[in-house]
Every structure is written in C-alpha cells, then in structure tokens.
Chain A
C-alpha cells in the first residue's frame, strides 16, 4: 500500500476540518478571513502539485489498485483545485447573504473538493461510489444553504430526490456488474469484460452505472434537475456544480467507458452519438425563452454537457484530449459568468437578465467580463470556447469514415452553436443596449474578487490564443487510455 500518493486528498480533508472547527472560535466579523485562508492553503497545494516535488507527481496505485495516480488524475486534480479556489473567492463575496455558519459553507466546498479529488483517482467501483456520494451529499447541503429562501430549499429537495434516485440506479448497476464478472477493479474488469458481452445482466449493469454518471453530467435524459437546481442554489454553489461536479462526472465516465468496459463502449457508439446530439439540441432550444440568468446558464450547461460528450462519442484519443481542453476553458468561462451574477444581484431578489441593464456604466470590468464569458460560451474566436469547440468537432469529423453518424453529429453540434448565439447575445444586449436602466449606482469591487475576475479573463484568453501548453497537458492526460 502506498498511502503517500493521497497526500493531496489528506491535506484537503484536514483543511476542511480546520475550517469547520474555525466556525466555533472566529468572531462573526472575522469569518471572511477563513475563506481567504482556505484560498491561500489551496493555492499552496496547487503550487506544490505543479512544482514536481512530493507525492503529487508520483505515478502509481494504492489500496490494491483502487486508487490510481496517473496523468489523467493529476490533470483533473489541478483542475478541481483551481475551480475550488475561484469558487471560494466568490463564496467570500456571497457570505453576507448566508444567514449562519459561513465557515461551514467554506468547509463544505472544501469537502466537496476532496470528493472530486478522490473521483479523479478512482479506479474501482467502490471508490467511484464513495467519491460520487461524497460530492453529491455535500452538494445537497450546499444547494439548500440559504435556508431562509424557499427556492433554495426547493432546489435542495429536488436535487436530493433525483440524486438519490440516480445513485440507487448506479448501485444496482454496480451490483449486477460485480455479480456477473466478480470484479470491482476497472483494470481487472477490462481483462474479462469481453467474455460477458452477451450477458444481458452485465449490459444492464453497465447501462445503470451510466445512468448514475449521466445524472452527474446532466446529459439527456437525466437533465431534468439541472435548471431548477441551478436557479435555486446559492450562486457559488451553482458555479461549483456547473464546473466541479460536471467534471467529476466526466472523469468517472471516461474511466468507466475507456478503462473498465472498452469493448462494450465500442458497441455503444450509436447510443453515445444519439445522446450527445439530443443533449446539445435540448439544452440550446430550452435556453431560448429563459429570462432568469442562472436558469439560462443551467440550460446552457446541459448543452455544454452535450458538446463535451462529443469528445466521448468520438472514441478516439484526440476526442478525449479535446474534451479535457474544453473542460479547462469551460472552467474559467463559467466561473467568470457566475462571479458577475453573484456581484450584480447582491441587492436584488431575483436574477433576471434585466438585472444586467446598464452594467457597462455601473462597472466596466464586470460588463466586459460577462461579455467575454458569453462570447466564449458561444464559441467566438479568440476565446477558449472557440478553440475547444473546434478541437471537439475536428475529433468527431476524423471519425466520420468509421460511421456516417459522426457527420450528422457534427452538423447537429454546429446547429446547436448557431442557436446558442441568440441567447448568449441576448445577455450581452441586456448589458449594453437596455432601454430602461433603473439603477446606475457604481458597483464597488473588493481587491480579491478583482483578482479572481482577472484570473478568469486571463484564463479565457490564454487558452484561446496560446493553446499549446494546455493542449500538451490534455494530450498527456489522455494517454492513460492508450495503453
């Protein structure tokens, strides 16, 4: 056993515990600093993970192969830590809207992060189940954290019921897969999976596991929860849900599909193509009439789950690395958008698109951030979203010779992008060309949140203009499946 591989997870767990205990001793007006302390600690861990020293860059496996530290795991761990840091910046700004237990809120974000780190390294169904539940149960609480607001509670209950439903499907699927094959470890399962391809019970098991993972990434037909939960949850939770929870679903999906049951995946090519296409169309079409910003981004996140599934459906190394690259761009873009929403709606009851009216006069920085985020989500060059979509479509078209369905899929994705221009530019129009601007008071920004916003903008441009570094990292991570 090699427990030193888990140093990062252990540090994050310890940080979460310390933050929770800090709630007892810190006076109320100092609780803000607990959030900044968490940001500083996580930044330290991120630097350590890049510096190459310590256990973070070691490869290997622990706990009988349940826990692996490979290129993919390291890529996703860095990704999750960056996401948690940016979300914590936002959570500090949000703290005045949380009635009680602010440090608890920070510590729950950190605990959710630890679940994501375990998910990045999961190589066994037991680990997959525990990691996914650690994330999901933490998110039930994070979603309903504003107990005074009915929408927050309602969102929490809806997430709870649908989340528990999907996890019971997943557990039943794991039971069936284990019952037929006798293996829980992904590598061991891959060795025997080919013999069981004709067993209906085994195939049902795999399908049920995919139901559970499809719920995490909000893919059609398991997307029903997304708009309501995105709308009702506190804004930092929504941002973390959109980025962290979705990415955790994708890393587990990649591992199950390409490490555990690669032979079954190859047979299910058409299923993946159809799900990806319907998810893109559903998300984009339903986003059209939305007036609530967070709900609009909820539907847009369904559409983006569809774009990300393009990389899975392509069943190729270039598809997988395009997916990883796209997720990196999505991280900065979505967190930028939610940070702006969090700051603009501080004194408002609702988060309608009209809240953005006159934002260019109230705060030019926020107005340009939101414009860039929307342009990146829509896929306008030279931002991260454009290059990501380009890579995903390229990966899909490369496979066109194998199955003509891939051409239809690429066409659907392009149609989805065109539809999405309408509602993304609706948001930009609301910022600059609103007719009835009621509030023109300038928005005061604190120093740390300016830093967070600038990091997001820099990330969007860096990934869009100089994609080489990030693409190399993504290619390195995707090599895990080539072995």
Chain B
C-alpha cells in the first residue's frame, strides 16, 4: 500500500484529537501536560509531512522553532507543577479550587 500525504495527515489529526481528549478527560496535571505535548507533536508531524510532500523546507524550519519553544515551555511547566505539588501534596485538577466566585 502506498503511504501518501493523506495517511500522514490522518495520523496527525488522530494524535491531535487524542491529545485533546486527554486534556479534557484526565485529572492528573502531569498526564494533562503530556497530552498537550502530544498535540504539539501532532502539529509537528503535519508540518514535516506537508514539507516532504510539497518539497518546501520552510515547514521543517518552523518545526525546529516549535521543538525549542516546547522544550522551554516544558521546563517552566514542570517546575510550576512541582512547586504546586510541594505546597498541596497533590497534582490533581480537582484540588485547584482556592479561587471561586
């Protein structure tokens, strides 16, 4: 079977949808954060496959930017989640209820 742009894009859409589902359904902050990375990587996959099939390298350059920014985001994000865990002894979204109306 020939694997073309469509198949790659389907996988990318699926990954994105799975990530979104994870963000909505899961209750643990770390798992939510992993799902968010999955969504970013779905976008990377789409960019790389478009780049390969359209013979245009701009997309791959953008992927490098995305990977770099995602790394910065993860380092800040994990530090934040760890800081919150130290104060609360929990990494569950149900416990983030200090602020209400």
Contacts and interface: CB of A to CB of B under 8 A. Distances in A.
Interface of A: 125-126, 129-130, 133, 137, 140-141, 144, 147, 150-151, 153-158, 160-161, 164-165, 167-169, 171-172, 174-176, 178-179, 182, 184, 227-228, 231-232, 289-290, 295
Nearest to B19: A168
A129 B32 CA distance: 22
Contacts, number: 117
A179 B101 contact: no
Interface residues of B, number: 40
A157 B80 contact: yes
Nearest to A172: B43
B62 A178 contact: yes
Contacts of A153: 80, 83-84, 87
Given A161-B36, A164-B33, A151 B83 contact: no
A192 to B, nearest CB: 13
Top-5 shortest CB links A-B? A179-B50, A168-B39, A171-B43, A175-B46, A172-B43
Contacts of A169: 39
Contacts of B87: 150, 153
Interface of A is mostly: helix
Interface of B: 9, 12, 16, 19, 23, 29, 32-33, 36, 39-40, 42-44, 46-47, 50, 54, 56, 58-59, 61-62, 65-66, 69, 72-73, 76-77, 80-81, 83-84, 87-88, 96, 98-99, 101
A188 B74 CA distance: 33
Interface of B is mostly: helix
Given A133-B69, A179-B59, A156 B80 contact: yes
A45 to B, nearest CB: 26
B46 A179 contact: yes
B65 A160 contact: no
